Amino acid sequence: MRALNNLLLLSLLPAFWACSSRAPAVRLEGKTTANGNQYSLFHPQGLALQLVTTRPDVADDRNKLSVAAAYTDLDTNQPLDLLVCNGRELQARAKVGFLNGMLTLVGDSLTISRIPEGQPRLRTEMERIQRKQGTLLLQELLVYQGRSVHAAGGSVFQRRALVEMAGHRYAVVESVADNLTLRQFGDDLRELGAHNALYLDMGDWDEGWYRAGGQVVRLGHRRSETARQSNWLVMVQRD
């Protein structure tokens, strides 16, 4: 009987080792820039990136990371310049003139680019994305084609961005410090290897979370406007 039990135990060990060594769905990497600023990089491992307007369910194990994306309109509590979401037009035209970056999501294709000049060209892009049942979001562009592009000055906060690295690999990057201007953040992202980078809503709207094994780890320092968040960038396990 002892021999049989030992044999059964040995047969179960390979499955145990496979489960215990399985790579996390979101790989967390810490990096420090030359000026001493520390950052957390969240790398999706075979996950889909989605933008949604319904709060992601933290109890749903398919949701691996959730962070605020577009700004929220303070008057309406609706996403600001989230123009098209999953093929549905939410705004007929852009409202905020300083949002010069554009995120498009069509199926598994994700692109960070500069907003086309002029409303007619943007309208043409909106219609194209809508036909493809995609998503089009405007936000502040921090890095474009390997160059830090945000103007100097402005307020200081903890910062977070969606970043395109070499090889069309994407990560969410978040600062540890809460005293960065957007220009400093963009400079640091470029040093960390960003090819393109688009800002994600922070300040009082900074609440987010990611799944580390069986635990949910909360992100953000302030979290005071969590209840008013209107849209989320989510890393989701593929079906």
Q: What rounded mean pLDDT belongs to the chain? A: 91
Q: How many other β-carbons are positioned within 10 Å of the β-carbon of residue 41? A: 17
* C-alpha–C-alpha distance, residues 185 and 182, integer Å: 5
**Section 53-67 average pLDDT:** 98
* C-alpha–C-alpha distance, residues 198 and 185, integer Å: 11
Coil, strand, or helix at residue 186? helix
| Whole-number pLDDT of residue 12 | 43
| Sequence ranges of the domains in the chain | 24-237
Match 């709207």 to its residue by tokens: 205
* C-alpha–C-alpha distance, residues 73 and 82, integer Å: 10
Looking at this protein, which amino acid is placed at residue 146?
G
| Whole-number pLDDT of residue 118 | 76
| Whole-number pLDDT of residue 208 | 98
Q: How many other β-carbons are positioned within 10 Å of the β-carbon of residue 146? A: 11
**What are 8-56's pLDDT values in tens digits?**
333 444 443 344 446 799 999 999 999 999 999 999 999 999 999 999 9
What CA–CA distances, in Å, run from 89 to 75, 115, 128, 130, 146? 19, 17, 11, 7, 31
Q: What angle do CA 235, 226, 205 make, to 5 degrees?
A: 80
What spatial distance separates the first Cα and last Cα of the chain, rounded to whole Å? 43
Q: Enter the pTM of the model.
A: 0.90
**What are 99-155's pLDDT values in tens digits?**
999 999 999 899 999 998 777 899 999 999 999 999 999 999 999 999 999 999 999
